[in-house]
Amino acid sequence: MREPVFRGVGTALVTPFMPSGEVNYPKLGELLDWQIDQGVDAVVILGTTGESPAVPTEEHIDVVAKAVEMVRGRIPVIAGAGSNSTAEAIDQTKRCTQVGADAILSVTPYYNKTTQRGLVAHFSAIAAATQLPIILYNVPSRTNLNINPETIAELSRVENIVAVKECNMEQIGATKALAEPDFAWYSGEDGQVIPLMAWGGSGVISVMSNVIPGDTHDLVTRWLDGDFDGARDIQLRTLPLIKALFAEVNPIPVKEALNLLGWEVGDPRLPLVPPSDATRALLAQALQDYGVARRG
């Protein structure tokens, strides 16, 4: 029986940059310590929220290695290592394995895309390149390609493909009925944590937990402990904040939210740009209404 990489909340962490554009490693350490202190159960380094498309391979591996070093085994470090090139995804996966990542988050191929048969070949080849558990990342809104339920079910029979971060909530029931019983689900939508958990999910890989890690953890923990009313109350309270955090393309708003809270994580890298004044005002109001305290 396979165990999930984690149960609860995995924060899809932003990558902090200095004004020069370089990775701000001291700030990365501060963010990791705070996330762990707030009770999150895992951290994803260089997923979409971490701006992986704008981080070249050598720097990518350095960031994962530094994160592993900083976390010191306190929670699992899940490394984003996907690509629309299978060879590149395999190379990143091998190198993330070598620097000590605990698991791999592997995104659906984008732009060139492939067939469902090609998805099985792509992810199976990646899985064969590592002993680490692999979490599939199904995000059709970004890749324009869905991993169909039958395909996820077939991949769930690969020993070290253990879970999916699912953003296509409409297919969870169909997939759950077909996949291996020890295959795990994580919500890829902050506003849909409870629906996924109701289908037997193991938690969320979250953007909002960059800003409210404690409450996000509390939401999932309450559900897992059977406090369904308490979990629902937290989920409902988070919805206006989630709306603000996705007012522009992720991670533009969440980085600005952290900056407004005094974390000084820097601007995103091009082609992403800082948010509009309207989005900044929306974020400031949402943070105030939620009651998120400014750092320090």
Say how far apart CA 286 and CA 145 lie, in whole Å. 32
Give the mean pLDDT of the chain: 97
Domain ranges (residues) in the chain: 8-228
With tokens 């082609």, the residue in question is 271
Local structure of 246: helix, strand or coil: coil
Average confidence (pLDDT) over 91-116: 97
Mean pLDDT of 116-145: 97
Q: Is the pLDDT of residue 71 over 90?
A: yes
* Average pLDDT of span 62-76: 98
Q: Which pLDDT score, from 0 to 100, does residue 154 have?
A: 98
pLDDT of residue 2: 87
Beta bridge partners of 45: 79
- pLDDT for residue 113: 95
Per-residue pLDDT at 159:
97
Asked whether the beta carbons of 166 and 160 are under 8 A apart, the reply is: no
What distance in Å separates the CA atoms of residue 261 and residue 277, rounded to the nearest whole number?
Answer: 16
Using one digit for the tens of pLDDT, what is the confidence trace for 20-57?
A: 999 999 999 999 999 999 999 999 999 999 999 999 99
Share of the chain above pLDDT 70, in %: 100
pLDDT greater than 80 at residue 183: yes
Task: Kindly name the residue from 27, 165, 176, 255 that is annotated as catalytic.
Answer: 165
Q: Residue 179 above 80 pLDDT?
A: yes
**Catalytic position from the list 137, 176, 186, 255:** 137
Side chain identity at residue 49, one-letter code: T
Could you report the per-residue pLDDT of 229-255, keeping only the tens digit for each? 999 999 999 999 999 999 999 999 999
Looking at domain 8-228, its CATH architecture is Alpha-Beta Barrel (3.20)
| Residue 111 designated active-site | no
Instruction: Report the alpha-carbon distance of residue 276 to residue 171 in Å, rounded.
Output: 34
CA distance 221 to 6: 12
pLDDT digits (tens, 9 = 90+) for 191-220: 999 999 999 999 999 999 999 999 999 999
Residues sharing a CB contact under 8 Å with residue 230, sequence separation 6 or more, in sequence order: 222
Whole-model pTM?
0.97
d(CA 158, CA 154): 8
Question: 186 an active-site residue?
Answer: no
The Cα-based distances of 18 to 21, 46, 263, 264 in angstroms read 5, 16, 12, 9
Q: What is the mean pLDDT of residues 174-200?
A: 96
Percentage, residues of the chain above pLDDT 90: 98
